[in-house]
Amino acid sequence: MKTINAYYTSPESLSSFLEEESISDSSKLLIQVFSGKNDFDFIKDLTTFFLENFPLASLVGATTDGEIKDGQVSIDTTVISFTTFENTSLKTYISNEFENYFQAGQDLATNIIEEDSKVIISFIDGLLGNGEEYLNGISSINNEIIVAGGLAGDNATFTKTYVFTKDTIYTNGVVGVSLSNSDLKVMTDYSFNWLPIGQKLKITKADKNRVYTIDNKTAVETYGYYLGDDISEQLPNIGIEFPLILEKNGIQIARAVIGKNDDGSLLFAGNLQDMDEVRFGYGNANEILGKTQSHIDKLYNQPVESIFIYSCMARRRFMPEQIENETIIYNQIAPTSGFYTNGEFFSTKGYKELLNQSTTILVLSELDVCNTKEITFKTLKNVSTTIQALSHLVHVSTEELQRKDEIMVAQSRNVAMGEMLNMIAHQWRQPLSVISMSADNILLDKELDCLEDESFTENLNSIKNESSSLSQIINNFKNYFSSTKEKEEILIKTLVEDTKDIINLNLKSNDIKLITDHQCDLSIATHKQQLMQVLLNLINNAKEALIANQKEKKIIVLSTKEDTNNILIEVCDNAGGIKEAILNDIFNPYFTTKNELDGAGLGLYMSKIVIEKHMKGKLSVYNMKEGACFSIVIPR
Instruction: Sort strands 117-124 and 146-151 into parallel, antiparallel or unpaired.
Output: parallel
Residue 570 makes CB contacts below 8 A (sequence gap 6+) with 557, 558, 559, 560, 561, 629, 630, 631, 632
Tell me if the pTM is above 0.75: no
| Residue bearing the bigger pLDDT, 163 or 551 | 163
| Residue bearing the bigger pLDDT, 584 or 522 | 522
Q: Within 10 A of 582 (CB to CB), how many other CB atoms are there?
A: 11
Q: CA–CA distance from 120 to each of 1, 123, 186, 355, 361 (Å)?
A: 17, 10, 11, 17, 13
Query: What does the pLDDT read at residue 447?
Result: 80
Q: What sign does the dihedral 55-60-66-71 (CA atoms) show?
A: negative
Alpha-carbon gap, residue 5 to 259, rounded angstroms: 33
pLDDT higher than threshold 90 for residue 562? no
Query: What does the pLDDT read at residue 596?
Result: 38
| Residue bearing the bigger pLDDT, 400 or 510 | 510
Fold of 399-482: Helix Hairpins (1.10.287)
Q: 122 forms bridges with which residues in the sheet?
A: 149, 176
| Residue bearing the bigger pLDDT, 627 or 96 | 96
Out of 70-84, 126-140, 314-328, pick the least confident.
Answer: 314-328
Contact 338, 344 (CB under 8 A): no
- Single out the residue of 460, 473, 523 nearest to residue 496, CA to CA: 523
Query: What does the pLDDT read at residue 424?
Result: 61
pLDDT higher than threshold 50 for residue 437? yes
What does pLDDT average to over the chain?
Answer: 84
Respond yes or no on whether the N-terminal peptide bond of residue 236 is cis (omega within 30° of 0): yes
CATH 3.30.565.10 fits 483-636, yes or no: yes
Q: For 243-301, what is each residue's pLDDT tens digit?
A: 898 887 667 888 888 788 999 999 887 788 888 888 888 777 777 777 888 888 899 88
Q: For 450-479, what is each residue's pLDDT tens digit?
A: 877 787 888 787 777 767 766 665 665 555
The confidence band for 600, taking pLDDT boundaries of 50, 70 and 90, is very low
Query: What does the pLDDT read at residue 421?
Result: 63
Q: For 582-598, what is each residue's pLDDT tens digit?
A: 777 777 765 555 543 34
Alpha-carbon gap, residue 439 to 452, rounded angstroms: 14
pLDDT higher than threshold 70 for residue 581? yes
Instruction: Sort strands 566-573 and 628-635 into parallel, antiparallel or unpaired.
Output: antiparallel
Q: For 365-397, what is each residue's pLDDT tens digit?
A: 999 888 888 887 766 555 545 445 555 556 555
Instruction: Report domain extents, the chain.
Output: 2-187+287-371, 195-282, 399-482, 483-636
Contact 488, 528 (CB under 8 A): yes
Query: What does the pLDDT read at residue 34?
Result: 98
Alpha-carbon gap, residue 222 to 203, rounded angstroms: 11
Residue 598 makes CB contacts below 8 A (sequence gap 6+) with none
Query: What does the pLDDT read at residue 595?
Result: 44
Q: 214 forms bridges with which residues in the sheet?
A: 203, 217
Task: Provide the 3-class DSSP secondary structure of residue 203.
Answer: strand
Out of 2-11, 42-51, 503-512, 588-597, pick the least confident.
Answer: 588-597
User: Per-residue pLDDT averaged across 501-513, rounded?
Assistant: 80
Q: Within 10 A of 407 (CB to CB), how many other CB atoms are there?
A: 10
Query: What does the pLDDT read at residue 54?
Result: 97
Query: What does the pLDDT read at residue 592?
Result: 58
Out of 71-75, 477-481, 574-578, pick the least confident.
Answer: 477-481
Instruction: Sort strands 306-312 and 336-341 into parallel, antiparallel or unpaired.
Output: parallel
Q: What percent of the chain has pLDDT over 70?
A: 84
pLDDT higher than threshold 60 for residue 83? yes
Q: CA–CA distance from 548 to each of 144, 250, 541, 597 (Å)?
A: 65, 48, 11, 16
- Single out the residue of 509, 487, 192, 181 nearest to residue 326, CA to CA: 192
Question: Could you tell me where the DSSP H helices lie in 448-509?
Answer: 453-481, 492-508
Query: What does the pLDDT read at residue 114?
Result: 95
* Most confident among 89-103, 387-401, 511-525 (mean pLDDT): 89-103
Task: Provide the 3-class DSSP secondary structure of residue 592.
Answer: coil
pLDDT higher than threshold 50 for residue 430? yes
Query: What does the pLDDT read at residue 414?
Result: 56
Q: What percent of the chain has pLDDT over 90?
A: 38
User: Per-residue pLDDT averaged across 124-130, rounded?
Assistant: 92
pLDDT higher than threshold 70 for residue 509? yes
Alpha-carbon gap, residue 406 to 394, rounded angstroms: 19
Chain centroid offset of residue 200 CA: 10
- Single out the residue of 348, 375, 350 nearest to residue 188, CA to CA: 348
User: Per-residue pLDDT averaged across 7-30, rounded?
Assistant: 96
In sequence order, what E strands does 519-564 have? 523-526, 554-562
Residue 229 makes CB contacts below 8 A (sequence gap 6+) with none
